[in-house]
A = this chain, B = another copy of it.
C-alpha cells in the first residue's frame, strides 16, 4: 500500500549524491570507470579513487576504497541535504526515532552523518562538498558513455513496504510503484529532486545495492559505452540491455565493474513535480514494467548485487516467481 507522502518533512534531502564502494583492485576500477563509463577522476590516493560525472561541480559522486582480503561491498549510498541546518535537523530526527546514526569525517565532504535505515541500508547525508570544475564543456575529455551526473540508487530490500514508509515520512515521493493483486508493494520509485527517482526499492534478498545510475546525454552515448566496453575487451560486463524500461521510461544499459558492482547508464526519464500528477502503478505481472522491448534481464541481474558491509542480508517477505531467461527461453 502506498504510504502518505510527507510534503513537510523534518529536514530537506535534495538529491542522490554519492556512493561508497570497496574494491580489491583500484587500478582496474579506475580504468573501467574512466574509460568505459567515462567518469572524471578528481583525485586518487593509494587507497581511494574519487570520481565524478562530467557536469558535476562536486568533488565526487563515486568513491572507491581499497580493500585487500574481504568481499567487495557497498559502504554507503549518500544523499545531499539542503544545508547544515537540515543536517542538524536530520541528526535530531533520527535520534528521536532510535535510528542508528553516527557522525563521520569524510575528506572533501562537509559535516557528514551515517544512518542505518530500518531495512538495514547504510545511508550517508551531508550538506556540502568541495567544489570541482564542471567539465560539461570540455568535450574533448568525453569518453565512453559521457556520464553527466549521478542520478539514483536502486536497493534490494526484504521489505519494500517498511522501506517505502520510512522514506515517505522523510519526504520522498513515490513516482512509480509495482504491486500484486493484493496491493502488496513489490517495488517503489522514490524521488526528491523533481524527476522520476533518487532511490528505488525492489523486493529481494536485502539490503543490497542493486545498482547506481548515471545519466548519459543520449542513446548514442549509451551505445558508445557498449562499443568501448567491447573494444577494450570488457564486453562481458554488460548484464542487461540496451533496452527500454516501462517504469521510468529509461533507455538503459547495465554494466558490472571489475568488483562486480553494477552501474546503470541511462537516458530519458521525466519531470515529476506537480502535486496533482499521479504516481504510475504497474502490476508486478506486467512484463512491460521491466522492459518495453528487448531481452529480459539475465539471472545475474536478478540475483546478484553488492552487499552493504556489515549489514546482514535477509530473506524477502514477498516470495517471487521472478521472470528469468529460462522463462523467456520457453517461448523462443
Binding stretch for chain B, among A41-49, A166-174, A274-282, A307-315: A274-282
Q: Could you tell me if A275 and B83 are in contact, using CB atoms closer than 8 angstroms?
A: yes
Which residue on B lies nearest to A143, using beta carbons?
A: B140
Q: Mark contacts of A253-268 with chain B using CB atoms, 8 A cut-off: 1 yes-contact digit, 0 otherwise.
A: 0000000000000011
Is A271 part of the contact surface with B, judged by Cβ < 8 Å? yes
Binding stretch for chain B, among A111-119, A152-160, A177-185, A231-239: A231-239
Is A246 part of the contact surface with B, judged by Cβ < 8 Å? yes
Complex Cα distance, B30 from A198, in Å, reads: 37
Assembly of this chain: how many copies? 4
Interface residues on chain A, size class: 35 or more
Complex Cα distance, B141 from A129, in Å, reads: 34
CB-defined contacts of A14 to chain B, threshold 8 Å: 194, 273-274
Binding stretch for chain B, among A21-29, A66-74, A93-101, A130-138: A130-138
Closest 5 CB pairs of A and B: A218-B218, A230-B292, A139-B227, A298-B332, A55-B270
- List 7 additional contacts besides A137-B230, A231-B292; criterion CB under 8 Å: A128-B275, A139-B231, A218-B220, A220-B220, A226-B244, A235-B292, A325-B329
Chain A residues within 8 Å of B, Cβ to Cβ: 7, 14-15, 35, 55, 57-58, 80, 82-83, 127-129, 131, 134, 136-144, 148-149, 193-194, 217-220, 223-224, 226-232, 235, 238-239, 242, 244, 246, 249, 251, 267-268, 270-271, 273-278, 288, 292-295, 298-300, 325-326, 328-329, 332
